[in-house]
Structure 1
Amino acid sequence: MILQEKERAILPVVALPIQRRPNPPWKRLFDLCGVAVLLPALSPLLMLVACYIKVVSRGPVFFVQSRVGHGGGDFRIIKFRTMHVPSVSRDARHRDFVAGYTQTDSQIRKPNYKADLIRGGNLLRKFSIDELPQLFNVLIGNMSLVGPRPDVLRIEDYQPWQLRRFEVLPGMTGLWQCSGKNRLTFDQMVHLDIEYIDSLALSQDLQIIAKTVRVVLCDHDD
């Protein structure tokens, strides 16, 4: 039976299966080499930040949260905690905030949590120091140094074409972070993720890491 145009319009959109691309051997080797260099070099800073967080606020040193990763499966992302421990989880509010950008052409902005930050938390975020514990995610193998940035949204928050961003491992940094970041819309971010996936190469990862260092040190417009 052939559906009329009006009837087709009201059918629910069914998400396509997510293709899970195998992690290229060169990429895993690059990640492990990067962690082998960065973890020892940054360990004094990591220990100093951990001690600082314990001194200035009550609660755990690390913030651990479920995110969608490779192939659409969940993993636990690790960050330094930069906000006071709330009496009620902020996860649902943060997800709703980000989900609002999937329906608009507005530039992506972060929610304003300044009042919730611990003392010095803004500096840890400004220079992305709070992201450094994700090196342990890279070591475990559920993240890469470079890849689509894992956000707080769930699978059902995405349009079917946007699910391609889960074909590869999520990354500590990616093409979006060094291509405009908060000056881009959500759709533009996903297009950059797909562009990265379609041109996966070691040279591209090296370029993104170099650009990310420059952005972290010089670009703080968010």
Structure 2
Amino acid sequence: MSRWRGKSPPKKNDVTFYASDISGADFEDSGAAMEKLNAYISQNSDVLSIYTGSADGDMLMAPENELPDDYDPTVRDWYTLAAASPDEAVVTEPYIDAVTGNLTVTIAKMLEDGSGVAGIDYDLTALMSFADSNTIGEEGYMIITDTTGNYLYNPEQEPGTPLQENVQPAWPMLKKASSITKLTVKTKSWISRQMKPPAGKSAPPCTNMKSPMQLPVF
């Protein structure tokens, strides 16, 4: 887990590379750019799609998908977030992908020439599987939350459910922890540990919860 410490996570590096490699000219002659995007998709099974959207509303995407005629990339969250911070890669809040139904984030960066934004849709299924397959002690389990204090993963709760009262006291600490911020490059999602109480007893507030784990996947 420490091999990325002090380094930019790989998916952030990837989108930064394509943001420097693709320019406005590629929207006019897209052959070479599409070859690179298709090659990237073929080598990264955890990526749903990679694309660039121009300031004029054009899209280059791999794999190629049919978009609505009125689709405008410049009004999408991934585009506006990247445009607001052109010198760094940004990551959207996690969302459910309309096609796969999987938890997804988009990592995006303004193209170096300012003509548009490059984006990568990253599937968080592997992260969810990691949380699901690991226990803490005999009966503990991992949870993943978003910035608003709702569960993204909890084996006993539906996604979107507010954190249980016994976890809420730890929320300010979770928001300050380095944790999964390292994984999602500032998406501000956190993975934490929650212990199940003995049968018939209430769980104490998690005020002594340890700092969440660092999982630098992006």
TM-score, length-scaled by structure 1: 0.28
Q: Which has the higher helix share?
A: 1
TM-score, length-scaled by structure 2: 0.28
